[in-house]
Structure 1
Amino acid sequence: MARKEAKESGYWLRLLKDANPNSDFAESLIEESVELRKILSSILKRV
Structure 2
Amino acid sequence: MSRKEAKESVFWLKIIKATNASEFEKINSVLIQEADELKKILSAILEKSK
> What TM-score does the superposition give when structure 1 sets the normalisation length?
0.92
Which of the two has higher C-alpha Rg? Answer: 2
- Kindly report structure 1 stretches of 4+ aligned residues shifted beyond 3 Å: none
Contiguous gaps of at least 5 residues in structure 2: none
**What corresponds to 1:16 in structure 2?**
16
Report the aligned-residue RMSD: 1.0
TM-score (norm. length: structure 2): 0.87
* Structure 1 residue 14, shift from structure 2 partner: 0.2
Residues matched between the structures, number? 47
Give 1:43's aligned residue. 45
What 5-or-longer segments of structure 1 have no aligned partner?
none
